[in-house]
Chain A
Amino acid sequence: MSIFSKNSNSKENDEPVAHEPEEMEAQATPVEGEFAPAVTAPVEQTMRTEFANRPNVLNTKPSIISEGFTFEGTITSDGVLNVSGTVRGKITAKSVLIDTSGKVDGELNSEQLVIKGQLHGDVSCEDLNVGPMAHVDGNINYKYIHIQRGGKVSGKFIKN
């Protein structure tokens, strides 16, 4: 159960039940427990922090670059990558989300790409979604594009 549920239950009886898994999760992942509940399935309780060697299933937990965290180098993943921090280098993943606080500087290859933060570099993706607060700059190769009003984009756009 996600910690968001504690906001929704107003019944007194539910409270201790909702808190129990939250504490368990916090113990298992002291660093990333804050982010895990928003994106994870309720069944699994532990969080893996490796960025490579992920299973070939999209339904697994996302790899997360947390806010305030800077990564330099190459990230390769068959699954989902959420960037709330900063990445300088190359990213290859099936699905990438650059959150509002996220910054990516470098090459990015993915099937699904959602940009809410900032991105500078060359992008190759199938499905591109640019949020209203996003800044995107670079050469973009895409198949399907959606830019929400307010998103700042510049560079060369090439539809495949």
Chain B
Amino acid sequence: MAEVNQQGCLFVGEGVVLKGNFDVPDIASISGTVEGELTAKQVLIEATGIVRGKLTGESIDIRGEVNEYISSTRSLIIRSTGKVTGSINYSEIEIEKGGHLHGDLHNLNPHS
């Protein structure tokens, strides 16, 4: 879907290393490495993707690796190849079997 309309999207290819803070209005698809803060509406961390730093977004889908911090206001999915360490804030979470989770988990809206 992102390939059709790439406005407001960030694609980091495999082997690419980005350092800094990134504010992405739409989709951020990461196959390379991001060091720093990344904020996007929708985040896809592909199997080769690595984020070292803070990751915030509405929907976050992780097949790669994320360290330090994640905050997801809508849905957080850790796929079977995904590896997450650090502090995690979510409103809805799903972890596929084989997914790696190490850290503190907080529910943003623990009611009901």
B99 beta carbon closer than 8 Å to chain A = yes
A interface SS class: strand
Count A/B pairs, Cβ under 8 Å.
45
CB A58 to nearest CB in B, in angstroms, measures 20
A148-B94 in contact given A157-B101, A159-B100, A159-B101 (Cβ < 8 Å): yes
B interface SS class: strand
| CB–CB B100/A154 < 8 A | no
Interface size on A, residues (CB 8 A): 16
Interface size on B, residues (CB 8 A): 19
A55 beta carbon closer than 8 Å to chain B = no
Report which B residues bind A (CB closer than 8 A): 75, 77, 92-107, 110
Query: Could you list some 10 contacts between A and B, CB below 8 A?
Result: A145-B97, A148-B94, A149-B77, A152-B110, A153-B107, A154-B105, A154-B110, A156-B104, A156-B105, A157-B103
Report which A residues bind B (CB closer than 8 A): 144-159
